[in-house]
Amino acid sequence: MKIYLLPTLLFTLLFSSVSISQNTVQDSTMLKKLYTAALTDGKAYDWLDYLSNQIGGRLSGSFEAENAVKYTEEEMNQLGLDKVWLQPVMVPKWTRGFKEYAYIESPTGEKSVTDICALGGSVATPSLGIKAEVVEVNGLDELAALGKEKLSGKIVFYNRPMQADLILTFEAYGGCVDQRYAGAAEAAKYGALGVIVRSMNLKQDDYPHTGAMSYGDTPVSQRIPAAAISTNGADYLSSLLKLQPNLLFYFKQNCKTFDDVQSYNVIGEITGSINPNEYFVVGGHLDSWDLADGSHDDGAGCVQSMEVLRLFKKVGYKPKHTIRVVLFMNEENGLRGGTKYAEEVKRKGEKHLFALESDAGGFTPRGFSFQTNDTNLKKAQSWGSLFKPYLIHSFEKGHGGSDIGPLEGNIEVIAGLRPDSQRYFDYHHAANDTFDAVNKRELELGAATMASLVYLFDTYGTK
Amino acid sequence: MKIYLLPTLLFTLLFSSVSISQNTVQDSTMLKKLYTAALTDGKAYDWLDYLSNQIGGRLSGSFEAENAVKYTEEEMNQLGLDKVWLQPVMVPKWTRGFKEYAYIESPTGEKSVTDICALGGSVATPSLGIKAEVVEVNGLDELAALGKEKLSGKIVFYNRPMQADLILTFEAYGGCVDQRYAGAAEAAKYGALGVIVRSMNLKQDDYPHTGAMSYGDTPVSQRIPAAAISTNGADYLSSLLKLQPNLLFYFKQNCKTFDDVQSYNVIGEITGSINPNEYFVVGGHLDSWDLADGSHDDGAGCVQSMEVLRLFKKVGYKPKHTIRVVLFMNEENGLRGGTKYAEEVKRKGEKHLFALESDAGGFTPRGFSFQTNDTNLKKAQSWGSLFKPYLIHSFEKGHGGSDIGPLEGNIEVIAGLRPDSQRYFDYHHAANDTFDAVNKRELELGAATMASLVYLFDTYGTK
């Protein structure tokens, strides 16, 4: 059985020597302080309570979004940061309007009401709604095969489910979301009247999930309305269609797109003690969808990011580099905040070394994904033993975060917090993404995990 | 930066050679099959739905517990196992009786009702209840210092909270549960009239959490009643006591212990193809507390264990050793099922090699804890790369499971599934441990993870 003992022993010995050269004791003491402060004297959960329960859903351009800007700016001011400011950015304003209404009508005229929600960015239906036969498809590919003859005048029903056997649920999302994002633009090409999309949800339940869609270059006059139906609703509709292929689907929605309006990224920073002109960013997005509080998406990421800076002050850590918290506006339906921030970085020639986003829910943190070179990745992986007591085990290449994505090419490390993803899509963009769905400890562990990575890269630098 | 590269490289190379010698391709294919079957065609969630919503809380000796015996025996029979049977075991029968009632009375006579629940095994209060002044203590140690003079005729209020900065919540539980288990026996020595114990819960909420207590060798005539109060209730009582140290606490409960009654462990097995007389056990406990459905504790573990055998049949895996599922009766307040099973193993001289229990909730699995020698532990750790795609990363020494504990000394490997523990004590032994608190995917991932470990030890043997 020596074969099992040998590598582990070597591994331990070799990593021990690495660790010693990195002031393991000092680092593990700092991580312990950060985790203890987050878990015993944290502020993230209270902030999230306010954002979720006192302010609510924060769709770009809404009163709530502006309220959230004001609130988080005030809270950052109270943290005693070296600088707090608002970065202006113009954002789209889309409103859902009155509650959507839909029903399925059998060939014999029976109607059964089903819950839907307009996709973000969709046009309204005509004021009397749309009623048409339904063509169920498994995705965009199937449209061309069906052609204009079969699709013209119909409602296209995209019903490809998320793939349940993918362990990382974001991969399952990535495999389906084209139906939501481009489904209407594609169906319009074949003369469809509207589209209904199965919700991006791995759970069978009754919540329709909204989310961004785009008409691409579809002329305004040819844009057709798009709505989501719950997973239960989709299965019901699909099973009915097998019995009654010529049933009718009716839906009505009166969403509307207004002119862009003024909004803001909310930014605060602790000035670096040694390299004040080299920047680290930690952030989430302050906007959310309108169906719920946006507690997981992405209230959690915002309060965790603010907590990183509060924790540093709390434990008396003075970062070498300037550490910025950025609460980005308009991730959900435009990415204007992230784009604007990166533009300003470039315009001002600010040297950015590191950015970390939390936008995958306030669940138990498991690790990080990195867009960086191998040197920085290996460096992060070498900290595995420091993170092990906190059950942080995953340091992989992968998507960092939408809002910090535009910094790519102009920064050393882009990283994303990777919490447990199993429950994320149960709540994502749906009416149940509320404060009670967030566990306090899980949220706090995420904040401490972020603070720990920022501390380590601040201490040992990026390459 | 070579210092970072070197150990990882060596580690990879060395482990690769181990892996190759273990038929990595065959093993990873089998794990993929098991996880896919669990996630796309699982049965565990449906079973749990029935156990939780059709049967309900399964306290030993209750109608529901016997119903659960019957149901799981029937379901096992339908799986086409080689043998299914009931193993008789006598279990204690304790009943809660009418809903408990409690209030806090201020010195000026104002009463404020507070929710409590009797601890399992507690005696009743006198029929008119108990009303007395309260002495708050931080744990058992404080009693001796206070002595009979300060405690006689009082209600002792144990209020040491679970330690929030322990990452493994079971450690925080271990640091507090003596108050619940032995609090009444200890306080009785000093003439206290009753005890109220802060719930073993890391969350601030209104649920009192029950759980086992023991009077040890306290004579029957000196036994005093014990109840739990919620974390919110405990904080409220504690803050009131600072303002009004002579407030009164009233409580009334009419729980009762009956004579032992007949019950059963439910057992099913697939006969080993090569070593039919060498046994592997996978199990959970079928009994639960009575305040809720016991969905996490331990309906989840039962259905996951049954699912392990179903998955083997489903993917066509014929184990070398005999694989038994054992649903143990009476873990919560007696451990009679686990004790009986181990006695019978000894009596029959059955050679047991491996036992795995799931009794830490149906949350996302993170790994296993092992009571075994270093050789078996290292072997399990060498399978880390096979488990990595499923985010299983923790293979540590530690407690396997209460029900399989009595097998120790007579078995090679005792293992416990270790799911994410952050939310476990939010539900543990409380009225919210219900079906809706269990996520289908998380439950299924646990079952597949258990099946994978059983497969690997069955294939490569224990030493």
Contact B364 A420 (CB under 8 A): yes
Contact at 8 Å (CB) between A258 and A94?
Answer: yes
Residues in A closer than 8 angstroms to B393, CB to CB, are 391, 393-394
pLDDT tens, residue by residue, A159-208? 999 999 999 999 999 999 999 999 999 999 999 999 999 999 999 999 99
| Closest-approach residue (CA) in chain B for A440 | B203
What is the nearest CA distance from B408 to chain A, expressed in angstroms? 23
Question: CB under 8 Å to B435, separation ≥6 — which residues?
Answer: B48, B49, B52, B53, B293, B295
Distance of alpha carbon A395 from its chain centroid, rounded?
A: 19
Q: Are B165 and A39 within 8 A, CB to CB?
A: yes
Residue whose structure tokens are 């990421």: A301
What is the C-alpha separation between A327 and B270, in angstroms, rounded? 56
Is A167's CB within 8 Å of B5's CB? no
pLDDT tens profile B102-159: 999 999 999 999 999 999 999 999 999 999 999 999 999 999 899 999 999 999 999 9
- Least CB–CB distance from B11: residue in A7, A391, A445: A7
pLDDT computed for residue B22 by the predictor: 54
DSSP 3-state of B453: helix
Cα separation, B70 vs B77, in Å, equals 11
Q: What is the pLDDT of residues B40-61, one digit of tens each?
A: 999 999 999 999 999 999 999 9
User: Looking at domain B2-91+259-460, does it have CATH number 3.40.50.720?
Assistant: no
Structure tokens at B44: 């565990």
Q: Tokens 């199965």 identify what position?
A: A198
Query: In this complex, do B378 and A8 lie within 8 Å of one another by their Cβ atoms?
Result: yes
Residues of B with a known catalytic role: 331
pTM attached to this predicted model: 0.94
Domain B97-254, what fold?
Glucose Oxidase; domain 1 (3.50.30)
The helix (run of H) or strand (run of E) holding residue B118 is: strand B116-118
Dump pLDDT digits (tens) for A273-312: 999 999 999 999 999 999 999 999 999 999 999 999 999 9
B300-343: per-residue pLDDT in tens?
999 999 999 999 999 999 999 999 999 999 999 999 999 999 99
Residue B415 pLDDT more than 60? yes
User: Which residues belong to CATH 3.50.30.30 in chain B?
Assistant: 97-254
> Rounded CA gap, A452 and A463, in Å?
18
Percentage of chain A beyond pLDDT 90 is 94
Model confidence at A246, pLDDT cuts 50, 70, 90, reads: very high
The pLDDT of residue A23 is 84
- Confidence class for position A22, pLDDT limits 50, 70, 90: low
User: Under 8 Å CB-to-CB from A279, ≥6 apart: which residues?
Assistant: A321, A322, A323, A324, A345, A350, A351, A352, A353, A354
Domain with residues A2-92+259-460, CATH architecture = 3-Layer(aba) Sandwich (3.40)
- Helical residues (DSSP H) of B91-222, grouped into ranges: 141-151, 169-174, 177-188
pLDDT at A19: 42
Q: How many alpha carbons lie under 13 Å from residue B276 in its C-beta half-sphere?
A: 5
Q: SS3 for B135? A: strand
Angle, alpha carbons B325-B327-B333 (nearest 5°): 150
Average pLDDT over residues B401-409: 98
Residues in chain B: 463
Could you read off the pLDDT of B422-449 as tens digits, one per residue? Answer: 999 999 999 999 999 999 999 999 999 9
Partners of residue B14 in chain A, C-beta under 8 Å? 6-7, 10-11
**Percent of chain A at pLDDT exceeding 70:** 95
- DSSP codes joined into one string, B276-293: EEEEEEEEEES---SSS-
A66, A75, A100, A331: which one is catalytic?
A331
C-alpha B198/C-alpha B318 separation (Å) is 49
Peptide bond into A420 cis (omega under 30): no
Tokens representing residue B17 in the block: 């050679």
A331 classed as catalytic: yes
Which structure tokens are listed for B415? Answer: 């293992």
Q: How confident is the model at residue B11 (pLDDT cuts 50, 70, 90)?
A: very low
**Phi-psi sector, A129: left (phi>0), alpha (psi -120 to 50), beta:** left
Q: Which residues of B touch A441 (CB under 8 A)?
A: 164, 169, 202-203, 422-423
**Is A14's pLDDT higher than 90?**
no
Tens digit of each residue's pLDDT (9 = 90 or more) over B349-366: 999 999 999 999 999 999
Closest residue in B to A14 (Cα–Cα): B7
Where do you find CATH 3.40.630.10 in chain B?
2-91+259-460
How far apart are the C-alpha atoms of A447 and A315, rounded to whole Å?
14
Q: Residues A40-92: pLDDT tens digits? A: 999 999 999 999 999 999 999 999 999 999 999 999 999 999 999 999 999 99
Query: Average pLDDT of chain B?
Result: 95
DSSP string, A26-63: HHHHHHHHHHHHHHHS--HHHHHHIIIIII----TTSH
B 389-408 → A contacts, CB under 8 A: 389-391, 393-394
Q: Is pLDDT above 80 for B83?
A: yes
Tokens describing residue A408: 């790519």
> So what's the pLDDT on residue A396?
97
What is the rounded CA–CA span in Å between residue A454 and residue A356?
A: 8
Q: What is d(CA A14, CA B212) in angstroms, rounded to the nearest whole number?
A: 47
Confidence label for A13 from pLDDT (cuts 50, 70 and 90): very low
Whether B304 and B446 have beta carbons less than 8 Å apart is answered as yes
Tokens of A135: 């063509």
A176-187 per-residue burial string, b: 16 or more CB within 10 A, e: under 16:
bbebbbbbbbbb
Q: What is the 3-state secondary structure (H, E, C) of B160-191?
A: CCCCCCCCCHHHHHHCCHHHHHHHHHHHHCCC
pLDDT class of B23 with cuts at 50, 70, 90? confident
Report whether pLDDT(B232) > 90.
yes
Average pLDDT, whole number, for chain A? 95
Six token digits for residue A239: 């099973």
* Whole-number CA gyration radius for chain A: 24
Give yes or no for a contact between B280 and B345, defined as CB atoms under 8 angstroms apart.
no
Nearby residues of A235 by Cβ (< 8 Å), 6 or more positions away? A204
Of A251, A253, A290, which Cα lies nearest the Cα of A157? A251
What pLDDT is recorded for position A12?
A: 46
Q: Does A420 touch chain B (CB under 8 A)?
A: yes
Out of B11, B378, B394, name the one closest to residue A1 (CB). Answer: B378
Residue B418: its pLDDT value, please?
Answer: 98
d(C-alpha B405, C-alpha B417), whole Å: 14
Residue numbers of A between 161 and 220 with CB closer than 8 Å to B: 164-165, 167, 169, 202-203
pLDDT at residue A330 is higher than 80: yes
Using the predicted structure, report yes or no on whether residue B14 has a pLDDT greater than 80. no
Interchain CB distance below 8 Å, B391 and A21: no
Query: B218: which residues sit within 8 A by CB, 6+ positions away?
Result: B184, B185, B188, B189
Mean pLDDT of A93-118: 97
The residue with tokens 């509650």 is A99
Q: Which of residues 359-388 of B touch A (CB under 8 A)?
A: 364, 366, 374-375, 378-379, 381-382
The pLDDT tens digits for A367-388 are 999 999 999 999 999 999 999 9
Q: What is the ipTM of this complex?
A: 0.94
Cβ atoms of residues A306 and A79 within 8 Å: yes
Band (A10; pLDDT cuts 50, 70, 90): very low
Domain with CATH 3.40.630.10 in chain A: 2-92+259-460
Chain center to CA of A346: 24
Burial class (CB in 10 A: 0-12, 13-18, 19+), A152: exposed
CA proximity to B449, closest of B328, B365, B353? B365
pLDDT at A409 over 70: yes
Residue of B nearest to A34 (CA): B165
Three-class SS of residue B36?
helix
Identify the band that residue B409 occupies on the pLDDT scale cut at 50, 70 and 90.
very high
Residue spans of alpha helices (H) in A316-439: 336-348, 374-382, 384-387, 424-427
CA angle at B30 for the pair B26 and B35, rounded to the nearest 5°: 150
